[in-house]
Chains A and B, each alone.
Chain A
Amino acid sequence: MRAPRGTGIVLLALFAAAPHALAGQEDAATAGKVVYDRWCAECHGETGQGDGSAAASMLPRPRDFAQALYQIRTTGSGQIPTDADIRFAIENGLPGTTMPGWPNLTDQEIDDVIVYLKSFSRFFAQGPAPEPLDFGSDPGGGPAAIEAGAAAYLTMLCEECHGLSGRGDGTSAPTLEDWRGLPIRAADLTEAWVFNGGSSVEDMHTRMLTGLDGTPMPSAIDAMNSGVVSPDEVWQLAHYLASFGPREMPPLREVIRVGRAEGGLPADGGEEAWVGVEAFHFPLSGQVVQLPRNFSPTVDGLWVQGLHDGNDVALRVQWNDPSNSPDPNWDEWQNKITAALDLDGAEAIALDSAGAPSVRPPDAVFLQFPFEMPEGTDRPYFLMGDAREPVYLWTWDSETGVGAGRGRGLDSVEPLAEDPVAGEATWEEGRWTLYVRRPIEVESEGLDFVEGTPTPIAFQAWDGSSAEVGKRSSVSTWYYILLEPPASSTVVVTPLLAMLLTGAFGLVLVRRAQDRRRDR
């Protein structure tokens, strides 16, 4: 093991900052520095200011330990966290950010690194952290509690940032900044699996009482003390939030099953016609394969439903995007994102004399297929094909609508004007619903689906208001879509026949055995 550099300096700093520190603390800080330098420093920076070499591609930025502003605490708003709070963040990570949990560290290593983290800020030297808040006890969930929580959601003005449906699309959402002045999203409350501090009712209640220091998320304590809400109502609010969606990311299923529509295909993406149609969730990642990369994408997943009637296939795709781009209300956000992120070589969108962006890119989603049903496992390159083997695209963007195209790479799409694909998209309360429909087989260039045969499918998404254009997108690798074949009589006949034959054979065997016995 290499000797850690600068150990002496850190020790000196420790003495200066905390003259009463015990000798054991110094040893722990020294040991903690070894852990920190090995695993933490590249993001959080050598001096703990959240300015490591990788920080500029991250939003939110890594924690600045010198500020001692910790989001995930059990202590009151504006107070330093307990050691257990810091340990909670290290062990579990902060879902939805680039901070992972660290199961590779031993309990001792975590203890040591906590001592070292605290040495970055003078606030910890001024005494121990306050006791955790009294969180009271959960009066229980259920429909009545959820209804009361829904009222508290409005009383406490949650919808101003998080939106009426909780998708982070409130009217204030485009203006939100963290303590650094960097743009920050209001959490999408329908995606509990990316909550920074955990997704249980208790976790959410704790976050509401403590607030998320360094972000615009306030503590509910003031509202409780001034009688705006009761302690029970805050618990009920937590139960209401838990009703927004699943706690865990939906399990990945590789094949989208497109059932046969009884009584005609839906004519649009309206909810009524799609109730009960199985929905498949696909996580998306930033496009981090080709320059310029997107390390901080908006769209982190989408839902797909499908139906067909033997002639046409219709898909409904839904994804959360707090902005209906292009929208001038998000100009400031777009500018801040452009300024805050390392664009990895992408050209920043120029501003006009009034400081507004010269371009307001649209939102977009592409559905990608091979051009022909592939033989064997071969298929085009997942990033919109390449020069050798193109992909067949159903394209949609919020300016030009639905179309088809031939992709030969991320920045090479040629429209297919003859293609009969049609559809539309609507945006409501932070969610796009895209409806596309096309004949299963086409005379123009394009993929003919084959019922019962899994066809590769992949996805791309852009949020224009976050300056996502060109290669700065969200992507997936290949999955499958399968059009249910017509009901076949063999599914019923074969098992019946097998049962009859077996039964008859059994009868004959038994009869013969019994006859033989009698004969004897």
Chain B
Amino acid sequence: MKRYLSHPFWQGAIVVVASYVAFEYVIGYVLPVIGVASAPVPSSVIVEYMLIVLVGVLLYMSADEERWQRFREPIRETMVQPDRRTLRGILMVAFPVLIGWLAYERVKPSYAAPATLRAVHPAPPNQLTFRGETIELTGLENPLREEGSMEEHLAVGKRIYVRNCVPCHGDLLDGQGHYAQAFNPVPADFTSSGNLPQLTESYVFWRIVKGGPGLPREGTPWDSAMPAWETILEQDEIWATILYLYDQTGFPPRTWEEEGEGGHE
């Protein structure tokens, strides 16, 4: 075992295999299991990464003459030694087959959906019109935080949410409503730390008022099943629903002070 670990050829082989496992499986499947946001790496990107790893390994091996000789040794041995004839034969068949398979994977007809890039939180406008009334969004706070009874606002918000939002966003606010599976993109998960706490209440207000049709192009407005709620709800009802969203999930809204000039991602 130790003999292998100290040999440059096997070191190189281990690095290459470990890199592949990391790109293909760790990033895509292991990280999400332990709670780190991640997604599978596209195969074209994996090919690029693997090329970089391979070049890196070869560079390192050839940087030192003695190491390079030792690195090449097992390869040369396999090619020339009479007692390695069987292994040589196997490799001479297996390697072309592998290359042929890779080539087939490249040229075979694809039935995958085209990749669509969609901005989940596109940049908001500076102002919007609510049924003809212009509302400045920059610096806008939830007006209900300053007036009336919070308990009543939350009761209104809950009533609006359960009547209107539950079919898609779910009773648990997790985006798993009973219609969620029929929609692509799937409804937003309000229990995710990537949504409400990253957004100001004015941003959430914009997304509710204008819905899918009000998204900029990078938000793929043609795909979103989110209604433009100005056609259904009053402004105060929307603000109350926003209070309910933050209250029920326990997240604080992002505030304008923290945000400075930056704007949203």
Binding site for B on A (CB under 8 A): 2, 38-39, 42-43, 52-54, 57, 97-98, 100, 102-104, 249, 252, 254-255, 257, 282-286, 288-291, 295, 377-382, 386, 452, 454, 475-480, 482, 484-485, 488, 490-491, 494-500, 502-503, 506-507, 509-510, 513-514, 517
Contact = CB atoms under 8 A, between A and B. Distances in A.
9 contacts: A53-B162, A100-B177, A104-B174, A254-B184, A290-B227, A377-B116, A380-B222, A477-B184, A479-B184
Interface in B141-181: 151, 158-159, 162-163, 166-168, 170-172, 174, 176-179, 181
Choose among B99, B177, B182 the residue with the greatest number of A CB atoms under 10 Å from its CB: B182
A503 B98 CA distance: 11
Interface of B: 76, 79-80, 88, 91-92, 95-97, 99-104, 106-109, 111-114, 116-117, 151, 158-159, 162-163, 166-168, 170-172, 174, 176-179, 181-185, 211-213, 217, 220-223, 225-227, 231-232, 248
B87 to A, nearest CB: 12
Contact of A54 (B96, B109, B113, B163): B163
Contact of A289 (B79, B103, B227): B227
Given A98-B178, A499-B100, A514 B220 contact: no
B114 A509 contact: no
Given A102-B172, A382-B225, 20 more contacts: A52-B162, A54-B163, A100-B171, A102-B171, A255-B113, A284-B182, A285-B225, A289-B225, A291-B231, A377-B117, A379-B223, A386-B213, A452-B109, A476-B183, A478-B223, A482-B111, A484-B109, A513-B80, A514-B80, A517-B80
A514 B231 contact: no
Nearest to B179: A285
Given A43-B162, A285-B183, A498-B103, A104 B172 contact: yes
A100 B92 contact: no
A265 to B, nearest CB: 20
A509 B95 CA distance: 13
Contacts of A255: 111-113
A204 B158 CA distance: 35
A121 B216 CA distance: 52
Choose among B80, B103, B158 the residue with the greatest number of A CB atoms under 10 Å from its CB: B103
Nearest to B100: A499
B100 A498 contact: yes
Contacts of B91: 506
A224 B205 CA distance: 59
Contacts of B158: 42
